[in-house]
Amino acid sequence: MSKTLFVFLFSSNPDPYINAICYAFEKLNIKKVKLIHIKGTKTALNDQEVMPIKNKIWNQIERLAAGEYIKSSANPEKLDIVKLTHIKKIDIYNRILSNFLDDGIADINYEYLKEELNQVFKTHVGTNLEDCIVDLTSVAKVPTIDVFSTCLALGIDNIYVFELADAPDRNNPEASLYHALEATKY
Q: Distance between CA 14 and CA 72 in Å, rounded?
A: 10
**Stated pTM of the model:** 0.91
Q: How far is CA 169 from CA 33, 173, 175, in A?
A: 27, 5, 7
| Mean pLDDT on 47-54 | 91
Using an 8 Å Cβ cutoff, are 150 and 129 in contact?
no
Reported as type and span, the H/E element at residue 184 is none
60-108 pLDDT tens trace: 999 999 999 998 766 667 778 889 888 888 999 999 999 887 778 999 9
11-31 pLDDT tens trace: 889 999 999 999 999 999 998
114-152 pLDDT tens trace: 999 999 999 999 999 999 999 999 888 888 899 999 999
Q: Distance between CA 151 and CA 35 in Å, rounded?
A: 16
